[in-house]
């Protein structure tokens, strides 16, 4: 099951809306508690004024607390269209003088002349109560008369609701406006990406030119540079592939034409000897064609443009060289060539790709056998010097002139008047593998030649062994 790709526009909108909604929630909570505070402050003061008005009606005569509360005053005190009002007057000893007997006295009493507010659960209702201590003066009894006035919380809750609504509704409108502006801003901000997509969609698959960076936002500049770098690498790879195909086609055309010509000659001839000679030419051309195809396949397997991913691992170059060299013993014996190994270290561990290194060794040895005359010498050597491993192949072959030692690494480059049957790909393959392993390669003089005073070839490859 494939994951549905996420929309960048939706993600941007989401990550911008989440903080806004969090701010709205925090603002709503803050508004509620501030509204509750001011509602309590306003109605607590009104409740305290009622307690003071009730206290003004208190009179003390002798040991008796009296209250002169006319019916109209009582009606005004108890009347409230929204809430239920309760009150109680208690003598200094706590006995009920007037009011609701179930309205209990708080455990913590205010000091003389002071008051306090508290909440009280009464008849399944939450009441807000003010308790005022009225000091007794110039009387036979001493102490404080406790005046309590309580009311339900309907007006307070209504006020809190109205305040919160008045504050939240504008905020919701502002939030909606902000969301709309953010959506428009994100849509316009992502237009350059849409233009880039349109520009890419309108391109031909052959158009690998760089994308225009003029006018692109700063955030897209690095992306466009990376894209252009990739396009450049693809363009170079396509160029190399096209050149490789053109060169390969040119190189294969000659042996195929030779095969066709010799086959036609053999069909027209009736003399068995001439037919036999034509067949020998056909065999020779087929061998050269087979060699060329083998090298082309080798080049394709190590060419970065082919898309093969290198698989690097710890490889013992000594063990690998021994195995590959043994595969060419028969070829060397056919030309009476002394093929040997000169190993100066027990192991040579490098980080490399097994397939590529096999191709490197095979091409070096096969190239040396191809260009070394009969009874020649070829020696493959491995040595470990400090933190480097040196792989060398020295022969007594036809040699490479100093002026050609750079060009021989190019594809299909062959020396003038050479005596070998090579196709000009061996050292080109070797160079590709050396570059893939971040190694170094150089060509110097090899062993003295048998036929003249010249020298063969020595190829030295140095691997880093960090």
Looking at CATH, the fold of the domain delimited by 311-464 is given as: Heat Shock Protein 90 (3.30.565)
- Structural domain boundaries of the chain? 8-161, 218-300, 311-464
Half-sphere exposure of 56 (CA within 13 A, CB side): 9
- Note the pLDDT tens digit of each residue in 345-359: 888 889 988 888 888
pLDDT digits (tens, 9 = 90+) for 177-196: 888 888 888 888 878 888 88
User: What CATH number has the domain spanning 218-300?
Assistant: 1.10.287.130
- 190: tokens are 């992502």
CATH class of 8-161: alpha beta
DSSP for 135-179, written as a single string:
E--SSSS-SEEEEEEEEESHHHHHHHHHHHHHHHHHHHHHHHHHH
Burial of 86 (0-12, 13-18, 19+ CB in 10 A): buried
Q: 145 or 63: whose pLDDT is higher? A: 145
Burial of 10 (0-12, 13-18, 19+ CB in 10 A): exposed
Please write the tens of the pLDDT for every residue from 204-246. Answer: 877 888 888 777 777 778 888 888 888 888 887 777 777 666 6
Mean pLDDT, to the nearest integer, of 104-115?
89
CATH topology agreement for domains 8-161 and 311-464: no
- Contact status, residue 231 vs residue 211, Cβ threshold 8 Å: yes
pLDDT score at 317: 92
């Amino acid at each position: 099951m494939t994951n549905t790709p996420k929309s960048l526009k939706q993600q941007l909108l989401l990550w911008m809306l989440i903080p806004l909604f969090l701010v709205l929630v925090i603002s709503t909570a803050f508004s509620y508690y501030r509204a509750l505070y001011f509602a309590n402050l306003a109605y607590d003061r009104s409740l305290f004024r009622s307690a003071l008005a009730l206290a003004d009606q208190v009179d003390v005569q002798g040991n008796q607390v009296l209250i002169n509360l006319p019916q109209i005053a009582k009606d005004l005190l108890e009347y409230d269209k929204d809430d239920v009002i309760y009150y109680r007057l208690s003598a200094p000893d706590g006995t009920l003088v007037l009011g609701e007997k179930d309205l209990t006295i708080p455990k913590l009493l205010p000091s003389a002349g002071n008051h306090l507010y508290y909440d009280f659960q009464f008849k399944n209702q939450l009441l807000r109560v003010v308790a005022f201590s009225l000091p007794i003066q110039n009387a036979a009894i001493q102490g404080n008369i406790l005046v309590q006035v309580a009311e339900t919380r309907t007006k307070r809750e209504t006020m809190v609701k109205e305040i919160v609504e008045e504050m939240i509704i504008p905020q919701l409108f502002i939030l909606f406006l902000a969301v709309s502006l953010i959506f428009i801003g994100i849509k316009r901000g992502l237009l350059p990406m849409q233009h880039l997509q349109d520009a890419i969609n309108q391109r031909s698959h052959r158009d690998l030119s760089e994308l225009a960076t003029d006018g692109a936002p700063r955030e897209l500049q690095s992306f466009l540079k990376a894209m252009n770098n990739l396009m450049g690498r693809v363009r170079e790879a396509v160029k190399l592939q096209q050149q490789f195909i053109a060169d390969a086609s040119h190189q294969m055309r000659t042996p195929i034409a030779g095969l066709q010509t010799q086959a036609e000659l053999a069909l027209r001839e009736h003399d068995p000897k001439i037919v036999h000679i034509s067949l020998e030419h056909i065999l020779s051309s087929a061998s050269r064609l087979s060699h060329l195809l083998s090298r082309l396949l080798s080049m394709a397997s190590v060419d970065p443009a082919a898309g093969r991913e290198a698989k690097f691992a710890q490889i013992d170059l000594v063990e690998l060289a021994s195995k590959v060299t043994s595969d060419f013993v028969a070829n060397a014996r056919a030309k009476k060539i002394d093929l040997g190994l000169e190993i100066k270290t027990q192991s040579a561990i490098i980080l490399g790709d097994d397939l590529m290194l096999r191709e490197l060794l095979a091409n070096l040895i096969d190239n040396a056998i191809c260009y070394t005359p009969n009874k020649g010498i070829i020696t493959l050597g491995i040595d470990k010097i400090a933190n480097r491993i040196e792989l060398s192949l020295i022969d007594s072959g036809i040699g490479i002139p100093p002026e050609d030692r750079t060009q021989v690494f190019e594809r299909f480059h062959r020396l003038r008047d050479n005596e070998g049957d090579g196709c000009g790909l061996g050292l080109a393959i070797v160079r590709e593998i050396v570059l893939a392993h971040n190694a170094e390669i150089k060509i110097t003089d090899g062993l003295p030649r048998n036929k003249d005073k010249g020298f063969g070839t020595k190829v030295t490859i140095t691997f880093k062994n960090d």
